[in-house]
Amino acid sequence: MENQALELHQVIDIFIQTTTMEAAVEVIEQHQELLTDKADIAFSTIIYNARQQGHETTAQALDERRDFIRSIREEKTNF
């Protein structure tokens, strides 16, 4: 299980490092686990930790990335 959590965090890191919307969508398509509740919780934890460390700008950027994933997740569940 610890291995799976590490893998999810690695996938989140890959997603965070994308520089275009197209690249972000490609990562999501390749790693559907980003659309899970578990990934959403992991994102929330990362955002919370960034805020706790005083990195508000980073937290806001991560929040936008999480919202992007949530919008794709919602689109997929509506079809």
* pLDDT 10s digits, 29-66: 999 999 999 999 999 999 999 999 999 999 999 999 99
**φ, ψ at 7 (rounded to 5°):** -60, -40
Of 64, 57, 61, 71, which Cα lies nearest the Cα of 28?
71
Q: What percent of the chain has pLDDT over 70?
A: 91
Q: What is the pTM of this model?
A: 0.84
The pLDDT of residue 78 is: 76
Distance CA 2, CA 75 (A): 30
What range does the domain containing 13 cover? 2-77
Could you give the number of structural domains in the chain?
1
**φ, ψ at 60 (rounded to 5°):** -65, -40
